[in-house]
Amino acid sequence: MMKHLWDANTPEAFWQLETAVPPEVWQAAIAEAAVTLCLPGNVTAMSDLLMMTLGEGQFGAAHFEPPTSIRLYYHVKSYVPHGLIMLLRRALGRRQQSRFLLGWPHEDRYARFLWRVMRGVLVRSGCSELGYRPFWPGGARFALVLTHDVETARGMDYVRAVADMDEAHGFRSCFNLVPERYPIDGALVDELRRHGFEVGIHGLTHDGRLFTSHRLFAERAARINHYLHAYGAVGFRAPFVMRHPQWLQALDVEYDASFFDTDPYQPVPGGTMSLWPFFLGRFVELPYTLSQDCVLDSILHQRTPEIWLRKVELIARYRGMALVNTHPDYLSSPTCGELYRQFLAAMRVRHDAWHALPYEVARWWRQRAAPEAVPEVWGSLTPDAAGGLLVDGVAETGEGHRPGHEPSHLPSDPSVGRDVCPAGRRFQAPGRATSVAEESAQSPNGMSGGAASEYS
């Protein structure tokens, strides 16, 4: 059954404790903490909780089926003027956000659930401290992952400029290519690999029809797998981040990046609520956790990366993964390009992040979960006097500040860390919701290991 695709992501597997804890202790702590998720019904079984959150089951049984309006839109899209498309996108985005079931741009309920479960385990087991496998190498507080979806030939022409920008700030990134939409510059792909970048596959034709039917998906999946092997790619992201967790199992990948933690602005809005990678059947899922550049620039008209930076603060508190998805097609514009440049400059001066390529994160996450994996140093989990959890001596609300008292360079967000369900949340009946051990000696794309007008 599809719901078992997420079964490897239990709190016990997430925390990776040094000392075994009896199953009944985990079960009791999970049942007690489940209320934090604000899910419909009295759901306490872990497989159901995972299906409702990571599996987006809270949005209804037909959530991953594109509605008729979306299918019609992609049939006529190529004939609609760009200006009208953006007006439609803005109107649809406002409508979807007003009916959205999750918080945005911050949704921390799943994180608070995991923290509350762990505190419950500590209290119920009578332990004052437990060791855990650190989430990231070298004691990093969070992982930083840069990805770029190249949607059009115009975007392909701007890839080198984006790579140069990343490299100038000390970063490397992954470029996801559409193999049957535009000519792919093989010499440029080779150059990217030589400079330590990664290449992934971004659908097949980028026409919005990949998930129209299972038969069509299966036909295209065979060709996508061909291109994955041809380009030495191990990762995939679906165009327009349309997605179907069961169908995606047909792809020969190490990781997928078609999901996100929360996003009301996509053709199929929703979210997994996860700030971390997770196992999705046979591969690792890397959800993007920072809003797409096209949303900030073209929909919300942001001129600074403030929304991104605030989210990074939340992600760092919870030892999560800050994964951003931008597009050379959009970054070629002065406003979007400057927004991204400012973000890179802000990340460059941080010393608490593990910057890694997507394939490195996926392999690390799998290695971390291996039973034989033993960290050089175990992390520390202790309950605090205020009823929370200290991870390596730090409360989930950060180092010395509380929600509503963010660092001075960021505005406060009173929704973060509140132990209540979002105001106006509407539970939906089934149906469509309205609203490391050892590094690999050889990496994909031939690299050595180590650290526009459309949505993707």
Separation of alpha carbons 294 and 120, rounded Å: 41
Residue-level pLDDT at 427:
31
Enter the tokens of residue 27. Answer: 């079960």
pTM over 0.85: yes
Residue-level pLDDT at 445:
54
Does residue 410 lie within any of the structural domains? no
**Which positions ≥6 away from 9 have C-beta within 8 Å?**
50, 54, 278, 279
Q: Is 403 left (phi over 0), alpha (psi -120 to 50) or beta?
A: beta
Residue-level pLDDT at 65:
83
Residue-level pLDDT at 42:
84
Cα 434 to Cα 89, 102, 312, 428: the distances in Å are 17, 12, 29, 8
Q: Name the stretches of the chain with pLDDT < 70.
A: 1, 3, 68-80, 82-98, 398-456
Does residue 200 lie within any of the structural domains? yes
Does residue 426 lie within any of the structural domains? no
Decide if 150 contacts 175 (C-beta within 8 A). yes
3-state secondary structure the chain: CHHHHHHHHCHHHHHCECCCCCHHHHHHHHHHHHHHHCCCCCCCCHHHHHHHHCCCHHHCCCCCCCCHHHHHHHHHHHHCCHHHHHHHHHHHHHHHHHCCCCCCCCCCHHHHHHHHHHHHHHHHHCCCCEEECCCCHHHCCEEEEEEEECCCHHHHHCHHHHHHHHHHCCCCCEEEECCCCCCCCHHHHHHHHHCCCEEEECCCCCCCCCCCCHHHHHHHHHHHHHHHHHCCCCEECCHHHCCCCCHHHHCCCCEECCCECCECCCCCCECCCCCCCEEECCEEECCECECCHHHHHHHCCCCCCHHHHHHHHHHHHCCCEEEEEECHHHHCCHHHHHHHHHHHHHHHCCCCEEECCHHHHHHHHHHHHCCCCCCCCCEEEEECCCCCEEECCEECCECCCCCCCCCCCCCCCCCCCCCCCCCCCCCCCCCCCCCCCCCCCCCHHHCCCCCCCCCC
Dihedral sign, Cα of residue 113, residue 118, residue 119, residue 125: positive
Amino acid identity, position 59? F
Does residue 226 lie within any of the structural domains? yes
Does residue 117 lie within any of the structural domains? no
Does residue 218 lie within any of the structural domains? yes
The number of folded domains in the chain is 1
Does residue 332 lie within any of the structural domains? yes
The parent domain of residue 143 ranges over 137-369
Separation of alpha carbons 135 and 13, rounded Å: 12
Does residue 62 lie within any of the structural domains? no
280: domain CATH number is: 3.20.20.370
Residue-level pLDDT at 289:
98
Residue-level pLDDT at 75:
62
Q: What are phi and psi of 364, to 5 degrees?
A: -60, -45
